[in-house]
Structures are given as C-alpha cells and as structure tokens.
Structure 1
Amino acid sequence: MSKSEPLIFFTDECLGRLVPTALKEAGMTVELYLDWFRPGVIDVEWIPQVGQRGWLILTVDEMIGRRIPEQIAIAYAGAKAFVMASNKRNSQSIAAAFIQAASAMEQLAHNSEAPFIAKVYANGDVKLWRDCDSLWDIIEKYSK
C-alpha cells in the first residue's frame, strides 16, 4: 500500500453503527460490517475478504488476537487489524480513541509489513501486538 493511497477502515460487527458514524464525521474513510455481511458471520469468514481488499480492521474484540483460527485468517489474508485494548468502554469513548489514534494507525499501516495485529489505547497510542513473523510462526506451529 503506497502512502498516497487512501486508507479504508473496516469496522467489525461489534462496533455497531455509532462508532463508524463518528469516525466518518471525523474524516476517516469507513466501511461498515453490516454493509457487507449479514449479522453473525464468524470472524474467519469475513476477515479474508476484508484483508484481501486491503482494508484496515477496527474491532474491540481482543480475542481476535488470541484465537488461533482468527490469527491464521489474518495471516493468510495479509490483514492489518487494530484492536481496542479495553472493550469495557462506551461507543463514544471507543470512537474518540480510534479518532485520536488515526494518524498512528495510518503510520503503522504504511510502515509495517502485513499481516499484523496492533492494540489501540484510550490515549491514542498504538502498539504492535502480533507482527508478521509471529503470525506466520502460528501458522507453522499449527499446520504440522
């Protein structure tokens, strides 16, 4: 992805409609889960489609970075995912954190090799959680 390409953020189902609406109002380009998938589609089904489109995944589901099938789906799709570090927040504070972190997420997306999973913190900090190598190590470990 070149730095001149506009980044598209994909908000997963758990973010509903309020968070993506706030992100759009802040000037971010956003695609909503419900505009592309029916309710309840499991992560390993939608992640590959989103990753292949080059969209950046936004979620509050920290388990996406802990469950092996989701990590494998992210790796194979070459996806870049950003997970809110604490899901015990309301929609307004989640949106505010993602908006505050937007430039850091964009920088990480441009400068880090896919796939990866990063955590987004309430203060706008963004830290790589699962890098490309660690995700491919998981595939190697579980494909034997």
Structure 2
Amino acid sequence: MSKDFQPVYFLDRALGKSIGQALQKCGKNVEFHNDHFAPDSPDTEWLPIVSQKGWIVLTKDENIGRNELEVKSVAEYKTKMFVLVSGNISRTKMIQIFEQTIEKIEKIVRGNQPPFIAKIYQDFRVTIWKNQTQLKKLLKS
C-alpha cells in the first residue's frame, strides 16, 4: 500500500453520525450506513457491498463477530472490520477513542491482509481479534 493510502471508513448504523463527523474533522473519508442502505438492512446485506469497495468497517456491534452468517460474510468478502468494545460509554468518549486510535487502525489495515476483525478498547488499544487464517478456516467448514 502506498504512503498516500486514503482509507474510506464505513460507519455502521450502531455508531451514528457524530463519530463519523468527528473523523471527517480529522480529515478522514467517511461513509455512513444510512446514506447507502436502509436503516434496518441486515449486516449480511451490506457487508459484501462495503467490503468489495475496500471500505473499512467501524462498528460497536460485537455480535457481528459471533454470528456465524455474518462472520462467514466477513471471511468471504475480505472485510476489514474494527469493533469498538464499548459497553455503555458516552458518545463523547467514543469519539475520543476513535480519534485516539485512528492511526493504529490504519497501521493494522496496512499491515494485515483481509479478512480480519480487530477490537478497539476503551484504553485505546487496538488488537486483531479474528485474523485472516482463522476466518478463512470458517469458509472451509
């Protein structure tokens, strides 16, 4: 990937507008779920489209990494996904976490072949949760 790598972030509906707007203020390219899909569209509907565009998925829906159909979609369509491990934190705190971790997110994207699912923690750590090897095994089962 080149130095002028300009990722596009797709914010799923769980994150809302304010986090995306904060990232836009940081100079990031952001696409919002509701600009492309119905608010209630299932993850298995939008995941293939977003992934094929090469967009980076940002969500706080941890269940997406546990739902078999969704995980298989992540694996099949080579998704780059980051899940905020949020519990119940304020929108202000979520914005702060994304602002503080965006460079780490981009480093992981540059250094890892998709598909993968990473977790973003409240202490600003970002770690791979399910890597390419783990996800590809699901496609064989």
> Could you tell me the TM-score, scaled by structure 2's length?
0.95
The aligned counterpart of 2:92 is 92
1:123 alignment partner, SS class: coil
| 1:28 correspondence with 2:28 | yes
Where do 1:59-138 residues align within 5 Å? 59-138=59-138
What residue ranges of structure 2 are gaps of 5+ in the alignment?
Answer: none
Q: Which 10-residue stretch deviates more, 83-92 or 1-10?
A: 1-10
Aligned residues: 141
Cα drift, residue 111 of structure 1: 0.6
Q: How far apart, in 1, do the equivalents of 2:53 and 2:87 lie?
A: 26
Q: Partner amino acid for 1:124?
A: F
Q: How far apart, in 1, do the equivalents of 2:16 and 2:4 lie?
A: 29
Q: How far apart, in 2, do the equivalents of 1:103 and 1:86 lie?
A: 19
| 1:8 correspondence with 2:8 | yes
Q: How far apart, in 2, do the equivalents of 1:97 and 1:26 lie?
A: 13
| 1:41 correspondence with 2:19 | no
What residue ranges of structure 1 are gaps of 5+ in the alignment?
Answer: none
Q: Which 10-residue stretch deviates more, 79-88 or 2-11?
A: 2-11
> Could you tell me the TM-score, scaled by structure 1's length?
0.93
Q: Partner amino acid for 2:40?
A: G
Give 4+ residue runs of structure 1 displaced > 6 Å after superposition.
none
1:17 alignment partner, SS class: helix
RMSD (CA atoms): 1.2
Question: Per the alignment, do residues 66 and 16 of structure 1 end up closer, same or farther by CA in structure 2, a change over 3 Å counting?
Answer: same
- Deviations 1:39-87 (CA, angstroms, capped at 9, x unpaired): 1000000000000000100000001111111111111111100000124
Q: Partner amino acid for 2:74?
A: I
Q: How far apart, in 2, do the equivalents of 1:100 and 1:122 lie?
A: 10
Question: Per the alignment, do residues 44 and 85 of structure 1 end up closer, same or farther by CA in structure 2, a change over 3 Å counting?
Answer: same
1:61 touches 1:87 (CA, 8 Å); kept in 2?
no
2:14 alignment partner, SS class: helix
